[in-house]
Amino acid sequence: MRHHILGRNPFTSLDTKSVGAMLSLSMNRLRESNRVPNRPVRIGVTGKHCAEQHSINFIHREHVDFVVCPATFVPTVKIAAAQAKIREYYGKYGYV
């Protein structure tokens, strides 16, 4: 991290280009293969990397149902999720 080889710390942030693409593909396939219409599949992400703004934006775009993170990060995650929702809302109308 000191030499800026990696853009973000891989232990605290989700790599959306590689790991995120793999998560997105697997979540889409899981949702498509769900055969029970009354009981949709709930998808969640867990870990310390869920508490970072960049990761929360990705998680929100992919429509993940829930996030599990350490209790100390809950206020940060709530604020980041609210910001992602606001960004999505205003993006629909061309404000962002």
Written in H, E and C, the secondary structure of the chain is CCCCCCCCCCCCCCCCCCHHHHHHHHHHHHHHHCCCCCCCCCCEEECHHHHCHHHHHHHHHCCCCEEECCHHHHHHHHHHHHHHHHHHHHHHCCCC
Establish if 8 belongs to a structural domain: no
Is-above-0.85 flag for pTM? no
Q: State mean pLDDT over 28-45.
A: 84
Q: What percent of the chain has pLDDT over 70?
A: 92
Residue 38 lies in a domain: yes
Whether residue 7 is contained in a domain is answered as no
For 13-27, what is the mean pLDDT?
A: 87
Q: Is 72 within the bounds of a domain?
A: yes
Which domain range does residue 40 map to?
Answer: 19-92
**Would you say residue 34 lies in a domain?**
yes
Total count of domains within the chain: 1
* In a domain? residue 82: yes
In a domain, 6, yes or no: no
Supply the pLDDT for residue 25.
Answer: 93
> In this structure, what token pair is assigned to residue 9?
């710390």
pLDDT at 15: 82
Q: Is residue 50 part of a domain?
A: yes
